[in-house]
Amino acid sequence: MSTAIGSDGDPPVSIVIHSARRELELTWADGTVGHYPAHWLRTRCRCAQCTAIARTGALTAGVSQTVSIIGCAPQGRYALQLTFDDGHDRGIYPFAYLREIDPARSRE
């Protein structure tokens, strides 16, 4: 087990799904806390299906603003698989990708 901290590929130390706020909260080893709205994550899914839809520019419009996260399954030490209440469960979100798309870091 690695004791190194601060690497963007490391798993979060805490994963909480806030159903009422439709938000995923991740706490990283360096103390950073990321708040990820479900819609934000859903529209950043990188599965083949969503990537193809995103290429047409229709992914954001095609996802309900009230989409929720109903499941979250760690994939080894590198990623989270998220299940959304629109039935979509193909999204694998590598930890490094989640850090990259932290809404607090993104300025869109």
DSSP states of 37-53 as a string?
A: EHHHHHTT--SHHHHHH
Stretch that binds Zn ion, among 17-25, 33-41, 69-77, 88-96 (CB under 5 A): 88-96
Residue from 91, 93, 98, 99 in contact with Zn ion (CB under 5 A): 91
Beta bridge partners of 75: 79
What backbone phi and psi angles, to 5 degrees, belong to 39? -65, -40
Nearer to Zn ion, 41 or 50 (CB): 50
Confirm if 61 and 54 have CB atoms less than 8 A apart.
Answer: no
Binding to Zn ion, residues 35-54 (CB under 5 A): 45, 47, 50
Strands 69-75, 33-37: pairing kind:
unpaired
Q: Which stretch binds Zn ion (CB under 5 A): 15-23, 33-41, 60-68, 91-99?
A: 91-99
Q: Give least dist CB 45 to Zn ion, A.
A: 3
Nearest approach, Cβ of 95 to Zn ion (angstroms)?
18
Structure tokens at 105: 């870091």
Residues that bind Zn ion (CB under 5 A): 45, 47, 50, 90-91
